[in-house]
Structure 1
Amino acid sequence: MRYAIYFAPPPDSLLHALGSRWLGRDAWTGQAVDQPNVLGIGRMTMEPCRYGFHGTLKAPFPLRDDKTPEELAQAVASLGSSEACFNIRLKVGVIGGFLALVPSGPSPALSGLAARCVRELDGFRLPPTEEELNRRRAARLTPTQDQHLTRWGYPYVLDEFRFHMTLTERLDPPEESRLAVAADAHFAPALAEPIAIAGLTLFVEAAPGAPFLAANYAPLSASAAGAAA
């Protein structure tokens, strides 16, 4: 089993409904959802669908043998209760060749929350094997990314962190342009207003290749209304 700490919109939110429909699966219920009428969308969302609609704060990791899922959930809840809610604005963008919802500008609050998740929950993470490290290094990491991989088990953390909510597989330029237009229209109703970062969600992958499911929700400590991003 692997565990991950994600931002996932509340299951009763418009952003969750639109994200689940775009990917074809509701990560809270595990149920399939009809996708919009966009040519090739099923093929282009297969891997994001497995992970569920989310933004990564601490990347998936197996649990150490001396830790329990209950202890991890309690630690996530404790971290969440010490953080205030805040708002961000999102837009459709391109990151690493795939479409994603990304912040429309810098958000120190979001970067700080992700850094706390990486650092303060790291005692639960089983270190990767040498094979896993080599697989990551095949992506031609920078020296800084390789240092993060060695220390934190994932290269894109802390100063390398870029929040994103993945919408597609890696795309060719013509597909990228076409899907971006469709995604802009699809998500426009939710992205017209700021998005509240109001909780942390613990996701679980029950077995290698299984779909990730939302398991525990840990609310942040205060209303997002008026909070700074």
Structure 2
Amino acid sequence: MGRVAIYYAPLPDDPLTPLATAWLGRDPVTGAPAAQPPVAGIAEVTADPRRYGFHATLKPPMRLAEGRSWRELMTAVRAVAARIPPFDLPRLSVQDLWGFLALRETTPCPPLQALADACVAELDDFRAPPSDAELARRHAAGLSAGQAAMLRRWGYPYVFGSWFFHMTLTRRLSEAEKAVFMPAAEAWFAPALAVPRRVVDLAIFTQAGGDAAFNIAERVRLRG
């Protein structure tokens, strides 16, 4: 196993799941390709999020620290989930996030922030330090002083006060591309976005290594 991440991902019976699988062009459970909507250029603009699978990051992808095992990590994940009760997710909408399209909540959700904070802090002993190349790539993107401090301490710049819920739908788009893909995404996801949903589990995604895709390995129910 190359890396592991703790994500939120909609349940298999959530109407959002088949729509997102088709939009990104890959099933994150089986890894099988999926037919995408008939929008010119969609395969290219979804290539990056396709590899990661449809999700919102709670604990960013990490390699396991030396001496740590998958079994130990899963025991710790279950301990986190045992303390946190399920909660309602605010209605989602397609939003422009720094040029990327993503599904984001329409109102603040403190339980969502608390869940992400718990995953970052309480599972950090299992995280191997990022490589120099990974750190350089993050810094090259341009970070605030606070984000740089988070990167040094937690291996990722967007945690705690810098964290934000988002389920990525595209790479960064030009204005012309956004004029095509924003209305296409709004129309495509509209039926599912009208449906209420709850956060009831943590989705454990794994990556075999290198540029391999992330797939769902296990789900852990929230039982608080």
The equivalent of 2:136 in structure 1 is 134
**What SS is found at the alignment partner of 2:33?**
coil
Trace 1:170-185 onto structure 2 (pairs within 5 A). 170-185=172-187
The equivalent of 1:202 in structure 2 is 204
Deviation per CA, 1:49-90: give whole Å up to 9, x if none. 000011100110100111111211221122112111111211
Shift of 1:129: 2.1
**What SS is found at the alignment partner of 1:217?**
strand
TM-score normalised over the length of structure 1: 0.94
Deviation per CA, 1:171-197: give whole Å up to 9, x if none. 001111211101111111111022211
Q: State the alpha-carbon separation in 1 of the partners of residues 171 and 26 from structure 2.
A: 15
2:7 corresponds to 1:13: no
Q: State the alpha-carbon separation in 2 of the partners of residues 201 and 57 from structure 1.
A: 10
Any unmatched runs of 5+ in structure 1? 223-229
The equivalent of 1:219 in structure 2 is 221
Letter in 1 for 2:148: D
Deviation per CA, 1:11-58: give whole Å up to 9, x if none. 222111111110001101111111111111001100100000111001
Trace 1:75-86 onto structure 2 (pairs within 5 A). 75-86=76-87
Q: State the alpha-carbon separation in 1 of the partners of residues 28 and 36 from structure 2.
A: 14
Letter in 1 for 2:219: Y
Q: State the alpha-carbon separation in 2 of the partners of residues 110 and 177 from structure 1.
A: 30
Deviation per CA, 1:81-135: give whole Å up to 9, x if none. 2111111211000112110000101111101100000000000000112232122
**What SS is found at the alignment partner of 2:158?**
coil
TM-score normalised over the length of structure 2: 0.96
| Regions of 4+ moved over 6 Å | none
Q: State the alpha-carbon separation in 1 of the partners of residues 182 and 150 from structure 2.
A: 31
Trace 1:40-59 onto structure 2 (pairs within 5 A). 40-59=41-60
The equivalent of 1:22 in structure 2 is 23
Q: State the alpha-carbon separation in 1 of the partners of residues 221 and 179 from structure 2.
A: 36
- Equivalent pairs counted in the alignment come to 222
Q: State the alpha-carbon separation in 1 of the partners of residues 219 and 200 from structure 2.
A: 10
The equivalent of 1:151 in structure 2 is 153
Contact 1:11 1:28 in 2 (8 A): no
Letter in 1 for 2:94: V
Q: State the alpha-carbon separation in 2 of the partners of residues 164 and 149 from structure 1.
A: 19
Contact 1:81 1:218 in 2 (8 A): no
2:94 corresponds to 1:92: yes
